[in-house]
């Protein structure tokens, strides 16, 4: 049996090595477009590879996948995060969970994962051909003819694991597979605003951010950067709002609550109580709600509160403005930037094309699809890789 896996990335390798381990009699071959193997694994997690997540219940995991979501329940039931941890451990790779439940190899190096995959591939005689770009795919009876830039191969089964590759989606469209339009996910917001311009590096442990005129609203840590706003809360919004924000051409307003989501009325009440208890204290010297001092200085200045003003002399207008800046600060987003640690594409081969029991195409027998090429993507946290591992494992079982 000849099995060709297209793509030498996370999903391609994991699928190929598991098939080859289970079936030493099969001829398993990876065709990779570039000269590099597992290049995204190498740079993943800032070079540490956030390989999976400590959360393991399928019902909990699916909540991290804006595209895929509940359909992945059965997939994670078959091969979950704990299965991946065990898989690695059996091959000598120990992992650790961080406080936020992201999991990394104990070595803190993505090279550990790469070395493991390369070792498994060599051990089970997976052949790897590089500089081979898939250009066409044709069904010939029960078999597949794989055309690359170099030659034509015949295969009994083909696994497509080409990640985010526009030219490959075109090839798959030519085969007849339906593709959901591709848009970026996991990006940060570009904002030019005097209030935050001088504050890169300042973070808020818990912020609430709402896209104005939309239902999109998330909470979590927020980070001011040189180009605008980033941090988990922004990345979550970019993932859940991938299509909506693209339709706005990444031009929209956001309302930022810097005080843990405390309602404006609560913020006002607290400020008034503080004013009554500390009338003589200068506003500038007492940042409330644990906001960073430099941010407090910036909004005090934007509220036109002079540096000498004590709490007792705050005008109604100033108080209102302070409440607004803390609980509903309006910022104009004009574009997006790629998040340095992790970005993915939303869209890809529609999940309705694939039987998630096997990851085989429903209308095209012996053609399997795994990884980012599918219309599955997740929030940051090791979930994107987990979707690759689960699909690869299920394909290896099914084949």
Binding site for ligand FAD (CB under 6 A): 6-12, 31-34, 39-40, 43-45, 49-50, 133-134, 161-163, 165, 168, 341-344, 371-373, 382-385, 388
- Min dist CB 227 to ligand FAD, Å, is 17
- In the complex, minimum distance from the CB of residue 369 to ligand FAD, in angstroms, rounded to a whole number: 10
Least distance from ligand FAD to the Cβ atom of residue 364, Å: 17
Q: Cβ 43 to ligand FAD, closest distance in Å? A: 5
- Look at residue 340 and give its three-state secondary structure: coil
Q: Which is nearer to ligand FAD, 146 or 300 (CB)?
A: 146
What is d(CA 316, CA 204) in angstroms, rounded to the nearest whole number? 27
49 touches 41 (CB < 8 A): yes
Contact 229, 189 (CB under 8 A): yes
Question: By C-beta, is 34 or 59 nearer to ligand FAD?
Answer: 34
Give the Cα separation of 96 and 108 in Å (integer).
Answer: 9
Tokens of 214: 């939309």
Taking the complex as a whole, the smallest distance from the CB of residue 359 to ligand FAD amounts, in Å, to 12
> Which of 195, 197, 236, 232 has the alpha carbon at shortest distance from 216?
236
* Cα–Cα dist 104/127, whole Å: 28
> How far apart are CB 122 and ligand FAD at their closest, in Å?
18
Q: Which residue's beta carbon is nearest to the bound ligand FAD?
A: 9
Q: Which of 361/373 has CB closer to ligand FAD?
A: 373
Could you tell me the sign of the dihedral formed by the alpha carbons of 41, 28, 362, 177, in that order?
Answer: positive
CB of 32 to ligand FAD, least distance (A): 5
Q: What does the chain come to in residues? A: 399
CA 248, 229, 238, 46 dihedral sign is positive
What is the closest distance, in whole angstroms, from the C-beta atom of residue 110 to ligand FAD in the complex? 8
Query: Judged by CB, which is closer to ligand FAD: 267, or 349?
Result: 349
Quick one: 273 or 338, whose CB is closer to ligand FAD? Answer: 338
* 150 touches 121 (CB < 8 A): no
For ligand FAD, the closer of residues 48 and 321 by Cβ is 48
CB nearer ligand FAD, residue 34 or residue 307: 34
SS (H, E, C) 264-303: HHHHHHHHHHHHHHCCCCEHHHCCCCCCCHHHHHHHHHHC
In the complex, least distance from residue 152 CB atom to ligand FAD, rounded to whole angstroms? 14
Residue 29 per-residue DSSP state: E
Written as six digits, the tokens of 191 are 């904002």
Q: Contact, 388 vs 10, CB < 8 A?
A: yes
Ranges of beta strands (E only) in 290-385 are 329-334, 336-338, 344-349, 354-355, 360-361, 367-369
If the CB atoms of residues 220 and 371 are measured against ligand FAD, the closer one turns out to be 371
Q: Which helix (H) or strand (E) holds 14?
A: helix 10-22
Instruction: Indicate the residue among 49 and 233 with the shorter CB distance to ligand FAD.
Output: 49
Residue 325 phi/psi, 5-degree rounding, is -65, -35
């Amino acid at each position: 049996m000849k099995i060709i896996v297209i793509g030498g990335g996370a999903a391609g390798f994991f699928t190929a090595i598991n098939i080859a381990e289970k079936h030493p009699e099969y001829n398993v071959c990876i065709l990779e477009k570039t000269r590099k193997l597992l290049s995204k694994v190498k740079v993943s997690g800032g070079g540490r590879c956030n390989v999976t997540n400590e959360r393991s219940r399928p019902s909990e995991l699916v909540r991290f996948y804006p595209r895929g979501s509940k359909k992945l329940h059965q997939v994670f039931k078959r091969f979950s995060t704990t299965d991946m941890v065990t898989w690695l451990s059996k091959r000598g790779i120990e992992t650790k969970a961080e406080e936020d439940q992201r999991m990394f190899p104990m070595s803190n190096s993505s090279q550990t994962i790469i070395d493991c995959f390369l070792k498994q591939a060599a051990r089970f005689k997976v052949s790897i051909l590089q500089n081979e770009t898939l250009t066409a795919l044709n069904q010939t009876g029960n078999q597949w003819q794989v055309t690359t830039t170099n030659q034509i191969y015949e295969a009994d089964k083909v696994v497509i694991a080409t990640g985010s590759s526009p030219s490959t989606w075109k090839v798959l469209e030519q085969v007849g597979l339906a593709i959901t339009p591709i848009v970026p996910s996991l990006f940060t917001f570009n904002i030019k605003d005097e209030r935050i311009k001088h504050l890169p590096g300042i973070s808020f442990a818990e912020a609430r951010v709402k896209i104005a005129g939309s239902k999109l609203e998330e909470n979590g840590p927020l980070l001011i950067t040189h180009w605008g706003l980033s941090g988990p809360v922004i990345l979550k919004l970019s993932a859940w709002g991938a299509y909506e924000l693209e339709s706005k051409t990444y031009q929209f307003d956001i309302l930022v609550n810097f005080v843990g989501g405390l309602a404006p009325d609560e913020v006002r009440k607290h400020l008034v109580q503080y004013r009554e208890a500390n009338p003589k204290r200068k506003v500038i010297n007492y940042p409330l709600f644990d906001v960073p001092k430099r941010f407090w200085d910036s909004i005090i200045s934007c509220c036109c509160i002079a540096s000498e003003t004590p709490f007792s002399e705050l005008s109604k207008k100033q108080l209102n403005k302070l409440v607004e800046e803390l609980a509903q600060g309006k910022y104009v987003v004009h574009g997006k930037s790629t998040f340095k640690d992790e970005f993915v594409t939303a869209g890809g081969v529609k999940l309705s094309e694939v039987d998630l029991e096997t990851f085989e195409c429903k209308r095209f027998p012996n053609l399997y699809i795994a990884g980012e090429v599918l219309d599955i993507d997740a929030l940051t946290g090791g979930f994107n890789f987990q979707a690759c591992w689960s699909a690869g494992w299920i394909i290896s079982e099914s084949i």
